[in-house]
Chains A and B, each alone.
Chain A
Amino acid sequence: MKQTVPSPPNKGANFAFGICLLLLVSLPGKAQQISTDENVQKLKTPVHLNLGKTTLAAVALRLTEQCGVTIEPAEYLKEREMVVQMDGISARAALEALSELNDWAWKETKEKHILIARKVSRLPVKPAYIWRRIHTALPRDVRDYLGVEMRAENPDDFKNPLDNTDQQKAQKLEEDRVKLFRLFKDTQIELYDSLPKTIYTGEPYAYEKMSESQKSNLLVQTFFPVFYLFISRGKEFMLGDFLPYVHDPRTAILGLKGNLLEVNIVLNVPNGQWSAGFQVEVH
């Protein structure tokens, strides 16, 4: 029988990678590069944005008018709602505040043209990073709603899912699950109760005819089951990491119980050991 000896992890590369990630997370929205001195100066223009309740598209338009550099949000961010009372700060400070509020980034895409968009995940493209890439993709408020913390550490440093320090997080996870389910039910009832009577005669009710609140409730009905599914994956999703055998199958332990082949991982926890995995009937 051939013994496969696990190769030691490349600590140096992992360490350097961790530092790079830490830098990325520690410096949100900073050090944006502007190509010309003229634009640098324009972004120093004091702006007066006493807009009250508004949208990102409207804020960007006013910023553009006041500083002379075209500032545009990505198409999918234009409808984001906010209350804006920013007076006497530079256009650049306003841009940075907008970006920091929602973990967006702004960059000069061409001369005199700045785009506000979501941050792009810089994690390597491989399965082990899936949850962390999804964390990055989630809008900031969704992340806060689901109680997801961005984790930048090296994914090889798997955090023990039963670590005592995480018990509060486990409770929070359960609360989030209840909160999400409640939201799903509340919006469903709100949607049902707001539908026109004609729908009960069999007449289809088109999305384009729906009110804004009906559209929003319908969107919750079709999207939030995905969030619920994520939360159901428990700590795996919250910690942004898979069980160690997903990263390295050599950490798995095989066992036979009757005709069930078990594939587990065993983790040391403060009060002993804990195992997780799955089993399949074999013949």
Chain B
Amino acid sequence: MSNNIWTIHRLFLPTCLIVLLGLCSRSMSQQSTSTKYPDRHFLDAAFEMSLQHATMPQIVQKLSETAHLSILVDGEPNRNLANFKFKAPARDLLDRLGETFDYDWTLTRANVVLFRKRFTVRGERPQTHLKEMQQLMKDIVATFDLAPRVAPGDAVSPMIQQLAQTFTPEQRAILNDGNKLSAGALLPDQLSLLNSAILANTFSELEEKLGHYAPLVSGLESSYLVVKEQAGVAQTSSPRRDYILVVRDKNKRLLSHYFLTRLVND
């Protein structure tokens, strides 16, 4: 018994410490910009900067030189040019730069300033590089391979039908009386069927859609777009353009195609 208590204490104390450290590191990154990094006094030094019609890379370069800061920015902002004229502490200049171009900033342990996009401005979007997206799609498909294979369409239905046919008279009576039946009270085979139905209900649509989009992304380099115009169906309706993205493999075999439709007067 005393051994157990000792073991609990031995595990509990370092664990508390780790949890506290983890929470501290998280709360640091969630602080509002005005109170960010109060212990990093180099951010309190004031600098003057004045740039007209400057791009973010130009402002970053000037700020880096003026305030002797190492700065790393993800991507490039959608907004192109800005006027940047301020005399303020470095932390305020960083705040202003972030506000101007829709970025948040943090510091690394070595005091490198990291700027990441906030995505609060329309038109801002993550970087989209083909190889990275192809790798991501591979990872997503591989992850969904962990899910049980389910046939497309109504795979859930036959499994639930089968489950219903295996109900015992007692189970049937519970359900027919309008009462609920806990799955914990099912027989092992019934529970297995229910489990399969739940997983199919959860994953089948995702698997189907991934099966459609994955070949498009992986074969995009060998794809081409064609447009087919369709006359309006009714007198009042606009003619339609079908943009068809065709993806073929090296042997010209059709891997996938994708319709993007647009009304001509859209």
Interface residue ranges, A against B (CB under 8 Å): 1-6, 15, 19, 22-23, 25-26, 50, 52-53, 74-90, 93-94, 96-98, 100-102, 118, 125-127, 129-130, 133-134, 137-142, 144-145, 179, 182-183, 186, 188, 192, 195, 199-200, 202-208, 215-216, 218-223, 225-226, 229, 233, 242-243, 245-246, 249-256, 261, 263, 278, 280-283
> Which of the segments B43-51, B87-95, B214-222 contacts the partner chain?
B214-222
Partner of A25, one of B22, B126, B136, B156: B22
B147 touching A137, Cβ below 8 Å: no
- Which chain A residues border B140 with CB–CB below 8 Å? 134, 137, 226
A263 touching B25, Cβ below 8 Å: no
A204 touching B183, Cβ below 8 Å: no
B161 in the interface (beta carbon within 8 A): yes
B146 touching A126, Cβ below 8 Å: yes
Residues of B in contact, count (CB < 8 Å): 110
B135 in the interface (beta carbon within 8 A): yes
B126 touching A101, Cβ below 8 Å: no
Given A1-B170, A1-B185, A250-B183, CB of A261 within 8 Å of CB of B191: no
Q: 1/0 per residue B137-150: CB within 8 Å of A?
A: 10110011011100
The 8 sampled A-B contact pairs (Cβ below 8 Å) are A127-B146, A137-B140, A141-B117, A222-B220, A229-B205, A249-B183, A250-B183, A250-B186
Nearest neighbor of B154 in chain A, beta-carbon distance: A280
A127 touching B199, Cβ below 8 Å: yes
Partner of B71, one of A83, A88, A221: A83
B126 touching A246, Cβ below 8 Å: no
- Which chain B residues border A81 with CB–CB below 8 Å? 75-76, 127
Interface residue ranges, B against A (CB under 8 Å): 15, 18-19, 21-22, 25-26, 56-57, 60-61, 63-65, 68-76, 108-110, 112, 114-119, 122-123, 125-137, 139-140, 143-144, 146-148, 156-157, 160-161, 163-164, 168, 170-171, 175-176, 178-188, 191, 194-195, 197-199, 201-203, 205-206, 209-210, 213, 216-217, 220-229, 241, 243, 245-246, 258, 260, 262
